[in-house]
């Protein structure tokens, strides 16, 4: 019996019976900020699909920049009817029908984020139904992915020396590189921060910076040129999200590889970034762009332009697992981000057998994403 026959032979057991939406929240002490803003909490919107046979899959939607209930409501009220009653393996069909609702609406990016959660949940459930990890269902290019530590926030009482120690400790834990925020302080201060981190991690370890779309083009060029001596692997989000021609200008003027556009959705936007020569590393997030299904398409798009991909991730354990499984199935994914601060539900990763070693995240050989989580978990707030 083939895998397809094995999955479909269960008939009604493979149909989606219900979809549930929950929110997980992590709170932080005061005094933390990134390049753009300060915050004291971060949310993860989680979608659970349950089949008639009792298999449960979970996915996550990006929800920063607004109330998480907004994304949760879109999942529960607009997309639930599209997936309930359908086979859990009909992921492409769901994806097409969900994004088709954007044709005569102004939902935009929030629809892609909501679609992401269900898409990931369906892949998780399908893997569990088939008894295989998601990355194997997708082609299984590798059992592990290159992983870097993302942090380097601006915080009260956390000077350059403390930042250097933070990044060196991450390298000591087995990460293959580090990334810190820039563009949120005076130029001299940012240069000092990058210099101290480079000294702390050594000359051979990858170092990246993230300006979070904040500088103007002249500011981004000045910052990039000031950071040239520190051998940056890439310069992420150097100027405004909507100014991709400006990204190209920064790339030409500075000579540091550029990564992005990170939080965008829609193949046309990523194609424009490639056509304009705005990026060296095409950066996306499975919780933002439309799910694991869309990550696969973006990988092919990047390959057509002879570019590598890198996956953004600053969500919960589900976000990291989804991006890691997508990356492990891709030939051209050169790195995955793991945030050192935003680690909601991360204990579930380690319990599931995920492991950091040798600069890589090693994935467990367990069905689906491998993380045991249900809508009844006490750490979650059920929304719909």
pLDDT for 28 equals: 84
Residue ranges of the chain that CATH labels 3.20.20.120: 136-362
Q: What residues does CATH 3.30.390.10 cover in the chain?
A: 3-131+373-382
Is the pLDDT at 328 greater than 80, yes or no?
Answer: yes
Helices (H), the chain: 3-8, 68-74, 80-83, 91-100, 109-130, 134-137, 160-172, 187-201, 217-226, 244-254, 267-275, 292-304, 317-328, 347-352
Q: How confident is the model at residue 384 (pLDDT cuts 50, 70, 90)?
A: confident
Give the mean model confidence (pLDDT) for residues 44-55. 97
pLDDT of residue 156: 84
Asked which of 16-25, 29-38, 101-110, 339-348 is least confident by mean pLDDT, the reply is 29-38
Mean pLDDT of 372-376: 96
Compute CA 220 distance to the chain's CA centroid, rounded to the nearest angstrom: 24
| pLDDT at position 9 | 46
pLDDT in tens, 271-315: 999 999 999 999 999 999 999 999 999 999 999 999 999 999 999
Q: Is the pLDDT of residue 3 over 50?
A: no
Q: Is the pLDDT of residue 33 over 80?
A: no
pTM (2 d.p.)? 0.95
Range scoring the smallest mean pLDDT among 36-45, 137-146, 186-195, 225-234 = 36-45
pLDDT at 1 over 50: no
What is the percentage of the chain residues whose pLDDT exceeds 90? 87
What does the pLDDT average to over 111-130? 97
Average pLDDT over residues 20-43: 85
At residue 157, the pLDDT reads 82
Cross-strand bridge partners of residue 144:
362
Average pLDDT over residues 360-378: 97
The total of other beta-carbon atoms located within 10 Å of residue 38's CB is: 14
- DSSP symbols for 273-327: HHHTT--SEEEE-TTTTTSHHHHHHHHHHHHHTT-EEEE---S-HHHHHHHHHHH
Per the prediction, the chain carries an average pLDDT of 94
Pair of tokens at residue 185 = 């302080």
Fold of 3-131+373-382: Enolase-like; domain 1 (3.30.390)
pLDDT higher than 80, residue 7: no
Token pair for 93: 């069909």
Quickly state the pLDDT bin for 10 (edges 50, 70, 90): low
Percent residues over pLDDT 70 in the chain: 97
Distance CA 89, CA 296 (A): 16
Indicate the range of 122-126, 158-162, 198-202, 216-220 predicted with least confidence.
Answer: 158-162
Does domain 136-362 correspond to CATH entry 3.20.20.120? yes
């Amino acid at each position: 019996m083939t895998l397809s026959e094995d999955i479909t032979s269960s008939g009604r057991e493979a149909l989606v019976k219900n979809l549930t939406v929950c929110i997980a929240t992590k709170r932080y002490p005061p005094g933390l900020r990134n390049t753009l803003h300060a915050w004291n909490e971060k949310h993860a919107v989680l979608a659970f699909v349950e089949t008639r046979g009792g298999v449960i899959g979970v996915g996550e939607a990006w929800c920063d920049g607004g109330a998480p209930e907004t994304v949760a409501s879109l999942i529960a009220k607009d997309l639930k009817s599209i997936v309930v009653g359908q086979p859990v393996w009909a992921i492409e069909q769901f994806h097409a029908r969900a994004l088709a609702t954007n044709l005569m609406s102004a939902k935009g990016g929030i629809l892609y984020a909501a679609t992401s959660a269900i898409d990931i949940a369906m892949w998780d459930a399908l893997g569990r139904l088939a008894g295989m990890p998601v990355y194997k269902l997708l082609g299984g290019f590798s059992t592990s992915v290159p992983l870097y530590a993302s942090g380097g926030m601006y915080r009260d009482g956390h000077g350059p020396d403390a930042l250097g120690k933070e990044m060196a400790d991450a390298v000591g834990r087995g990460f293959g590189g580090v990334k810190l925020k820039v563009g949120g302080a005076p130029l001299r201060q940012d240069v000092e921060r990058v210099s101290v981190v480079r000294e702390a991690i050594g000359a051979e370890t990858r170092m990246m910076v993230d300006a979070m779309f904040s500088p103007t083009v002249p500011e981004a060029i000045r910052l990039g040129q000031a950071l040239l001596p520190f051998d940056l692997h890439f310069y992420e989000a150097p100027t405004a999200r909507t100014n991709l021609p400006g990204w190209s200008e920064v790339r030409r003027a500075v000579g540091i590889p550029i990564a992005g556009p990170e939080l965008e959705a829609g193949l046309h936007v990523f194609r424009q970034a490639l056509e304009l020569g705005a990026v060296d590393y095409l950066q996306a997030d499975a919780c933002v762009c439309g799910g694991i299904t869309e990550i696969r398409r973006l990988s092919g798009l990047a390959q057509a332009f002879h570019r590598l991909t890198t996956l953004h991730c600053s969500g919960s354990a589900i976000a990291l697992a989804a991006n890691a499984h997508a990356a492990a199935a891709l030939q051209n994914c050169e790195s995955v981000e793991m945030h050192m601060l935003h680690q909601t539900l991360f204990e579930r990763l380690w319990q599931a057998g995920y492991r950091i070693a040798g600069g890589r995240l090693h994935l467990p050989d367990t069905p689906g994403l491998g993380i045991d989580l249900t809508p009844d978990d006490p750490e979650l707030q059920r929304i719909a």
